[in-house]
Amino acid sequence: MAYRITDTCVACGTCQGECPVGAISEGDIYKIDPDTCISCGTCASVCPTGAIEEE
């Protein structure tokens, strides 16, 4: 199951730099491409605001 970034994202970029498959892109808030995400949970574990959750 892929992860998603919620509205509590502060766009710090920590998750993007840690994603092993490059599934996270920058925008007003960051977004995770569900087709690329391998559900490893790395992004959720490094997010300082807890803005990333499983879909």
Rounded distance, CA 6 to CA 8, Å? 5
* pLDDT value at residue 3: 97
Q: Does residue 33 register a pLDDT over 90?
A: yes
* pLDDT value at residue 36: 97
Q: Does residue 29 register a pLDDT over 90?
A: no
Q: Does residue 53 register a pLDDT over 90?
A: yes
Give the residue from 36, 40, 9 showing the smallest Cα distance to 24. 36
Q: Does residue 27 register a pLDDT over 90?
A: no
